[in-house]
Structure 1
Amino acid sequence: MRAYAMNGAGNAFIVLDRRDASGPAAYTPQDIAAMEVVHAFDQLIVLDPSSEADADLRVWNNDGGEVGACGNGTRAAAWLLFEGGAKSQLSFTSSGGPMRAQRLGDGAAEVDLGPARLDWRDIPLSLPMDTVRLDFGVTLPDGRRLEGPGAVSMGNPHVVFAVEDLASIPIAEIGPRIEHDPLFPERVNTGFAQVRGRNDIRLKVFERGAGLTLACGTGACAALVALHRQGLVDREAVIEADGGKLPVRWDDQGHVHLSGPVVLERELDLRGV
Structure 2
Amino acid sequence: MTHFTKYQALGNDYVVIDPRDVAFEPTGQDALLLCDRNFGIGADGVLYGPIGPVHASRPVQLRIFNSDGSECEKSGNGIRIFALHVAARHLPGVREFTVRTLSGDSSVRIVDQPAGVVSVGMGEPCFEAAAVPMLGITGLAVEQPLLVDGRQLTVTALNLGNPHAVVLTEHPTRELACALGPLIAEHERFPTRTNVQFLRVLDRRTIQIEVWERGAGYTLASGSSGCAATAVAHRLGQVDTGAEITVRMAGGEIGVTVAPDGTVTMTGSAEHVLSGTLAAALVARLGNHAGQDAAVPHSEPAAVQA
TM over 0.5: yes
Indicate the residue corresponding to 1:256 in structure 2. Answer: 264
Task: State whether structure 2 residue 220 is matched by structure 1 residue 221.
Answer: no
Distance 2:167 2:276 in 1: 37
Partner SS for 1:117 = coil
Q: Among residues 37, 40, 43, which one is paired with 1:41 in the alignment?
A: 43
Distance 1:120 1:104 in 2: 35
Distance 2:214 2:251 in 1: 18
Indicate the residue corresponding to 1:171 in structure 2. Answer: 177
Indicate the residue corresponding to 1:202 in structure 2. Answer: 208
> 1:30 Cα deviation (Å)?
4.6
1:186-206 per-residue CA deviation (whole Å, 9 max, x = no partner) reads: 001110011111111111110
**Which letter maps to 1:154?**
L
Indicate the residue corresponding to 2:14 in structure 1. Answer: 13
> 1:253 Cα deviation (Å)?
3.0
Normalised by the size of structure 2, how large is the TM-score? 0.80
**Is residue 53–residue 93 contact of structure 1 (8 Å, CA) maintained in 2?**
no
1:117-175 per-residue CA deviation (whole Å, 9 max, x = no partner) reads: 222121111233432212324358xxxx5632211212111011110122386221221
Distance 1:119 1:127, change over 3 A: same
Indicate the residue corresponding to 2:61 in structure 1. Answer: 56
Task: State whether structure 2 residue 92 is matched by structure 1 residue 91.
Answer: no
Q: Which moved more, 1:79-88 or 1:59-68?
A: 79-88
Indicate the residue corresponding to 1:117 in structure 2. Answer: 126
Distance 1:117 1:271, change over 3 A: farther
User: Equivalences for 1:123-162 in 2 at 5 Å?
Assistant: 123-129=132-138, 130-138=140-148, 145=151, 147-162=153-168
Distance 1:147 1:57 in 2: 36
1:57-114 per-residue CA deviation (whole Å, 9 max, x = no partner) reads: 1111111111101000100111122233151101111111111100114552111122
Normalised by the size of structure 1, how large is the TM-score? 0.89
Distance 1:92 1:261 in 2: 17
Distance 1:255 1:132 in 2: 18
Distance 2:88 2:50 in 1: 18
Matched residue pairs, number? Answer: 268
Task: Give unpaired runs (5+ residues) of structure 1.
Answer: none
Distance 1:250 1:2 in 2: 38
RMSD: 2.4
Distance 1:226 1:260, change over 3 A: same
Structure number with greater Rg is: 2
Partner SS for 1:260 = strand
Task: State whether structure 2 residue 271 is matched by structure 1 residue 240.
Answer: no
Task: State whether structure 2 residue 92 is matched by structure 1 residue 76.
Answer: no
1:201-245 per-residue CA deviation (whole Å, 9 max, x = no partner) reads: 111110002110100111000000011111222233110111110
**Which letter maps to 2:192?**
E
**Which letter maps to 1:40?**
G
Q: Which moved more, 1:131-140 or 1:36-45?
A: 131-140
> 1:257 Cα deviation (Å)?
1.0
Q: Which moved more, 1:262-271 or 1:55-64?
A: 262-271
**Is residue 101–residue 112 contact of structure 1 (8 Å, CA) maintained in 2?**
yes
**Is residue 13–residue 73 contact of structure 1 (8 Å, CA) maintained in 2?**
yes
**Which letter maps to 2:267?**
S
